[in-house]
Amino acid sequence: MSAEAFDSTVLILAPSGRDGAVAASVLRAAGIVGEACPDATALAAGIGAGAGAAVVAEEALDPRGLQALRDAVAAQPPWSDFPIVVLTTGGERESGPPESVLRALGNVTLLERPLHMTTLVKAVESALRARRRQHEIRRINEELERRVETAVAERETAQAALLQAQKLEAIGQLTGGVAHDFNNLLTAVLGNVELLARRTQDERHRRLLQATAQAARRGATLTGQLLAFARRQHLMPKPSDLNGIVLGMAALLSRSVGPLATVETRLAPDLWEAVADPHHVEHAILNLALNARDAMPNGGTVTIATRNAPGGAGRPADCPPGDYVAVAVSDTGIGMTPEVARRAVEPFFTTKETGKGSGLGLSMVYGLARQLGGGVAIDTAPGRGSTVAIFLPRAQASRDARPAARDRAMPAAGTTLLVVDDDEDVREFVVATLESLGYRVLQARDGRLGQEALQAHPEIGLMLVDFAMPGMTGADLARLARDQRPDLPILFMTGYSDTDGLQGLATEETLLRKPFRVDDLEDKLATALQSARPRPRLAVSNDQAAKPAG
């Protein structure tokens, strides 16, 4: 009961004489509500119902009545100390209630009869003030407990979010490293398969090699999803129109969700531009639409909506403050339990049947959003469907103009190239490819040997170097090479997408992202050599002592 709901009714138990009627009349004249009780049982019930105080004549405290009062007092909540005014018969102290009775009743005030009516009123008012303070203290304590519970809950939520973020970060670091190693393997597999396919005329062999190449490309897609979750995929963020992206893939979405589902769009007018990589955002939206379809086995509606989020309204907790643009995909399907929703972005976590999902769709979306500086919010409940919203930072700059495409005719062969890569399989594939194109190729297995090769062979016209190598990295080697030969063309190979270490050294045209195909290598090589000033030169991958290949 709050202080505002305090009941100031005074219960009166005086079963003999006119004491009860007189007391009620006196209290009424003082503006106090008095309620006469026929017996101790009724008085005990009134105490339990929340009365403010009680006036009890001593003679009412017979064994039966005393027991009822004792039970009522003992049943009080911890905060309560019900006040009782006992009217004694006067005379010697021994004639009043015994000490044991007073202890049992607790908060007791004794008034000897005969007494002046003013004394009764003052005693009752004092009892009511004490009772009111008890209610006020109770209200304050309950408010404090509520605040403490709220603070504890918020702290537990924050700790859980931090632990989840740390868990996802650890998983991301692991998956990113695994994906990098697989990219090296896939580069060697895919590249050598393509070289073999170019050299055989046997149709049966060509079909087997094509099947192998297709499997390797599927593996490359998988490592791309792992890198997306690890936030290490290569992105080209720019101011982008999310409405235009959604409208541009409308036909693809309708085909992808199948005949049992319909696709609706709710695109916000005057939508801000977002910092996004359009190709990867399209892939993310498609992934979410396919998940939405799978959540509706009997059909339903997939809704794609966009909105501005000024001040980050509705953004997930791991997004920093700021303006965002959101694109959300909703379904009318089965929804997710809280436990499933908490784990939904973990890689390889899936509730689908074996063979029907890799568990990387939502993790890829999450990694993409985080890499772009945003986040992912999931709103779902069993039987209520799901909404997955991607929050992307609002773009502040206008779109950059695309550079004009260049003619990339292959220069004449005969140039000496240096390949530096610590992975022997990748290095041998690159060397074999370059030699098949007519180049003279030197190779080195690490940065130190690559530097020695550059010093010993001034005829090297281009270096192709791996970015991530133990000891001297590809970036370190490139800086040393530029100090000695500023005009040397350099191509960088990398299985990572995080290329911050190459800032100022590499552009998109001088980066080969593993796994790359033979055509990719030829194209980048031709562009680099064509743009070389005095003469065509190459870029490096790292792995073996500098020596003529062959």
**416-548: same fold as 238-393?**
no
pLDDT at 20: 82
Distance CA 377, CA 107 (A): 56
Provide the token pair at 105. 């009743």
Instruction: Note the pLDDT tens digit of each residue in 182-227.
Output: 777 777 787 788 778 878 888 888 788 877 877 777 676 666 655 5
Superfamily of domain 416-548: Response regulator (3.40.50.2300)
Distance CA 492, CA 506 (A): 7
Distance CA 33, CA 42 (A): 17
Query: Kind and range of the H or E element at 108?
Result: strand 108-112
State whether residue 537 is helix, strand or coil.
Answer: coil
Residue 434's identity, in one-letter code, is: L
pLDDT at 462: 93
Cβ-contact 351, 358 below 8 angstroms: no
CA 508 vs CA 480, 502, 524, 531: distances in Å = 21, 11, 10, 14
Q: Do strands 416-420 and 386-393 pair parallel, antiparallel, or not at all (unpaired)?
A: unpaired
CATH architecture assigned to 10-139: 3-Layer(aba) Sandwich (3.40)
pLDDT at 269: 93
Provide the token pair at 131. 């009772």
In the block, residue with structure tokens 């702290």: 155
Q: Where are the domains of the chain?
A: 10-139, 160-229, 238-393, 416-548
Cβ-contact 540, 474 below 8 angstroms: yes
Q: Which residues of 499-516 are buried (b: 16+ CB within 10 A; e: fewer)?
A: bebbeebbeeebbbbbbb
Options 3.30.565.10, 1.10.8.590, 3.20.20.70, 3.30.390.30; CATH for 238-393 is: 3.30.565.10
Point out the residues of the chain with pLDDT beneath 50.
Answer: 1-4, 93, 229-231, 355, 398-409, 411-412, 533-550
Look up the pTM and report it: 0.43
